[in-house]
Amino acid sequence: ALLLDGFSGASMVISNLGSITAGTTQPGNAPAAIHGALAASVDTISITTGASSTISSVGNALANGDANSGGAIFLDADSASFTLNNSGSISVGREATSTAAAVEGNNAIRITDIGDNAVSLTNASTGTIKAVGDGAIYLKGDSADITAITLDNSGTITADNAVLLFEEAVGATTSITNSGTMTATDSGADHLINLTNVSADFSLANSGVIESAGSRAVYVDMNNASLVSNDMVVFHNQSGGRIDADSETVTLLDINEQVNFDNNGTIRAINGASAVSFSAIGNHQVDFNNNAGGTISASGNGAVSLSGFEALLNLINANTATISAANETVVLAPSTNNARLNFANSGTISA
């Protein structure tokens, strides 16, 4: 619908208060509604949508080895920052109807070659970002690693799998705030939030719903070889916040930085093991607080697993807080004899 190949200039600003659609006559083989490879002169990309607006493509899986093609917004940034303020509907693919089969499309938003630039994504309470397929939002650094990623969602973001997929973000300070709903709808989903090679500050604050019908609602694989001493993981599931998956609900690997974890809401592995698992924490302090009213549960083994820590672990389960699993409810595995533990429980821990 809107082709921007070779667009040049210092900035590109798109404001949509109406409808931009692609593929109504070619479902399953449609171009993106906004697509193109931009010129290197473009430094900033900004897209703003109104509350009643629509940007959509009726299906463009264009499957390749990375399953990262397709989209409603499909841009090769050629090293430019990207800002999205969405109050409307951005979607790819088409749901099944009584007369037509579903048409899958991947990546409602696909921005590649961001380079060493920042990304800011805001999805307002009226905003919807949806893929009837994999990947609601796909970001990739390509020529260089993304420097910062900020996502603030108070609306709805949904896909079958890999709802948020960020690649080549080594060194990116990453902040995710969710007061809305993020959902992976396929029972075979293996990631909802998927970040790999993160090697700077990572924070997640949730007061809404993060829910995977499969496994791994939050999956972050840190690049601990690139971390510096003052990097930190800050994880806060606030009162009323809910994070659910079939199993392996919150998984952070190869952390090697300080961890501040607070749960005032609910985190559940509904049909399997591992509600919260942090590994390779390294020689950094961990403050792990399941605060009053907080619930962490696994129907299988291991509600909480903290491994590879070498310094002080403060583990607090507060009054009216609960941690439960079928077996091995809390597993603590230091990697050195110098590790220290401060454990206080005034709530309930059960198997």
DSSP character string of 211-264: EESSS-SEEEEE-GGG--TT-EEEEEE-TT-EEEESS--EEEES--SEEEEEES
Grade residue 31 by pLDDT with cuts at 50, 70 and 90.
confident
Which range, 27-31, 97-101, 131-135, has the best average confidence (pLDDT)?
131-135
Q: Model pTM?
A: 0.93
Instruction: Give the rounded percent of residues in the chain with a pLDDT score beyond 70.
Output: 92
Grade residue 223 by pLDDT with cuts at 50, 70 and 90.
low
Grade residue 14 by pLDDT with cuts at 50, 70 and 90.
very high
**Is the pLDDT score of 200 beyond 80?**
no
What region does 328 belong to: left with phi over 0, alpha with psi -120 to 50, or beta?
left
Residue range 221-236: average pLDDT?
Answer: 72
Cα 90 versus chain centre, distance: 17
**Is the pLDDT score of 170 beyond 80?**
no
Rg (CA), the chain: 21
Mean pLDDT of the residues in the chain: 90
Residue range 256-279: average pLDDT?
Answer: 95
In sequence order, the 6+-apart residues with CB closer than 8 A to the CB of 58 are: 21, 22, 23, 24, 26, 27, 28, 30, 93, 94, 103, 105
Q: What is the pLDDT of residue 254?
A: 86
